[in-house]
Amino acid sequence: MDERETRLIRQAQGGNTIAFAQLVALHDRRVLQLAQQLLNDPRDAEDVYQDIFMSVFRKLASFRFESAFSTWLYRIVVNHCINYRKRRTRTRHESFEQHTIVFEEESVPQFEDDGLDPERELLNRELGQEITSALATLSEKQRAVFVLRHFHGHKLQEIADILDTAEGTVKNYLFRATQHLQKRLRAYHENRL
């Protein structure tokens, strides 16, 4: 946590709404991106995004600087997304095809464009869609761990702090998610041959 962020947090804790708005501006893009990746629907992510920052505003006084602010914030994001999906699942039955995971370009590993021919570009696009579909089949916790690790670059201990669980549990979620994705992608590859 840098000095500016610490100052903004302290000012916002004191009721300074301008400082809070600046704090939101520092994190809003990553929060929205994570919500989109966890919820698989940009509209749902927009809804949750507002709730997240309202919750942050209400709970900011409880932040004690014992962990990074981003860790505390991401815990709120993950919990809101999980609760939102549970509520939504209870209220309506959804088909898998209705949702796709939305990743902003810079959050997804980009492959060098060596002047690929259209067929190769199509294959890359299909692979991206298969990865998206495979991620959507993971459990909430597995998806959260995988996204935080591989798309946001968090260390295992940071993810454990975000999810408020043991590092060993995070490793287990990551292992199971990786196994599941490998199995799905292997099947996709074998079907392509």
- Over the stretch 105-122, which tens digit does the pLDDT of each residue have? 445 555 555 566 788 888
Show Cβ contacts of residue 98 under 8 Å, excluding neighbours closer than 6 positions: 41
Residue 184 domain boundaries: 114-193
Question: Which amino acid, residue 46?
Answer: E
Judge if 85 and 128 occupy the same domain.
no
CB atoms within 10 A of CB 142: 21
Torsion angle of C-alpha atoms 88, 90, 92, 94, degrees rounded to 10: 80
Tell me if 108 is assigned to some domain.
no
Q: What is the pLDDT of residue 24?
A: 95
CATH of the domain at 152: 1.10.10.10
DSSP 103-160: --GGGSPPPP-S---HHHHHHHHHHHHHHHHHHHTS-HHHHHHHHHHHTS---HHHHH
23 has a pLDDT exceeding 60: yes
Domain assignment present for 5: yes
What pLDDT score was predicted for residue 193? 64
Per residue in 46-102, pLDDT (tens digit) is: 999 999 999 999 999 999 999 999 999 999 999 999 999 888 877 654 444 444 455
118 and 87 assigned to the same domain: no
**pTM attached to this predicted model:** 0.76
Determine the pLDDT at residue 91. 67
Whether the per-residue pLDDT at 134 is higher than 60: the answer is: yes
